[in-house]
Amino acid sequence: MEICLIIVFNHKFEKNIHKLYKLYKNRFDNIYYLMPFYTGKIKNVIPVYENPHTFQGYFIQSLPKYFNMKYSHYLFMADDLILNPEVNQNNIYELLRLKSDSAYLKAAFSLHDIDFPWPHVLPAINIFHKNSGVNVHNEIPDYHYAYKIISGHNINLNDQEMRFRTRWLLLSRNMKKNQKIKLFLLSLCEFRLHFFRKQKLPYPIVGGYSDFVIVPASSIKLFCHYCGVFAAMGLFVEIALPTALLLACNNVVWERGNFKGLEIWDPKQLDKISHKCDFKIKKLFQNYHHKLYIHPAKLSKWTIE
C-alpha cells in the first residue's frame, strides 16, 4: 500500500512550504500542497479557489492533479497540524489499524441532540431548506438512503428531531444579548422552531473534526464528488467533510486507544506548551510522544531539526 500526503492550507502562506517539505520529505514520498490562489512554480503545490469555511471544495478541484492509481490511501492534513515525527508512510497503516478499504476519522457526532453551543447547525439547516441556484437532488443520496448509510457507521441518528434544549444551545455563549435575540427570532421565522413543535433535520448530516482524515482509493472519487457538492451548497466543512466521508466509505476507522491526536484550542494553553518546548518540534514530541499529532500550531514559529 502507498499513501499520498496532501497538506491543506486555509490561506496563501508560501513561506511554510519549505518548512513542511523539510518536516515530511524523509517520511512520505508523495506529498502535495493545496494552497488558495497559488501562482508560483512549485509543481506539487496545487492552486485552489474556495472559501476556507468550505475547504472540502479544494479536494474535488485538485483531484486530477494528485490522483494516481498507485495510491491506496489519501491523507488530508491541515498545514497547522504537526504530525508525530515517528509516523511515516510505512507504519501509519499499523498505527491507525488501516486496511486497504479503510477510511480514518477522529470522530463524528449527530446534530439532532448536540449538547454544546455550535453556531454552524442553523446555517446548515437553512442551506438544505433554501439552497437556491444549486440542484443537488441527484448528486447525493436521498434522505432515507443517506440515513441508512450513516446509521451503518454506528452513528445514532435517532428520529433526527431537534430537541428544545438544542435550540437554545445553538446560541453561542459568546454572543451579545442582542445577537442572541436576533438569531433566535431568525430561527423562529426561517425554521419555524416553535416552543412546542419539534423540527426535523432536513438531511442526516453529522459534525466532526476535519483537519486530519484518510480516504481509501476505492472511495476517493465519490468522497470528492460529495465534498464538491457540499461546497457548492456552502455547507460548513466540519459538517460537509465527515458527512461526505461516511456516505462514500464503507469502512471507517475511528480514533481510539492511546495514540490519539491532541487539539489545543485554548490560545493561552497552546502558548504555554510552545514556550515550554522552546518552539522545537523534537522537544514537543518528547513530551507528547504518545500523540498522533498536535493541532493547531503556527509552524512559522517552530524550529525543525
Tens of each residue's pLDDT in the chain, 305 residues: 899 999 999 999 999 999 999 999 999 999 999 999 999 999 999 999 999 999 999 999 999 999 999 999 999 999 999 999 999 999 999 999 999 999 999 999 998 877 776 778 878 888 887 776 788 889 999 999 999 999 999 999 988 887 655 555 555 545 555 655 655 665 555 455 444 456 678 899 999 999 999 999 999 999 999 999 999 999 999 999 999 999 999 999 999 988 999 999 999 999 999 999 999 998 999 999 999 999 999 888 898 87
Helix axes 220-233, 56-66, angle to 10 degrees: 140
Q: Cα dist. 274→35, 107, 270, 282 in Å?
A: 26, 26, 6, 12
Q: Which residues pair with 206 in a beta bridge?
A: 110
User: Can you give the pTM of this predicted structure?
Assistant: 0.90
**Long-range Cβ pairs for the range 44-48 (8 Å, 24+):** 45/17
Q: Which three cell numbers stand for residue 280?
A: 522545537
* DSSP result, 213-232: EEEEGGGHHHHHHHHHHHHH
Burial class (CB in 10 A: 0-12, 13-18, 19+), 300: exposed
Q: Cα dist. 192→28, 167, 171, 186, 213 in Å?
A: 51, 11, 16, 9, 35
Domains of the chain: 3-107+209-263 (3.90.550.10), 116-205 (no CATH)
Instruction: Please give the radius of gyration of the chain, using alpha carbons only, rounded to the nearest integer.
Output: 20
Task: Give the closest residue to 293 by CA, choosing from 253, 257, 259.
Answer: 259
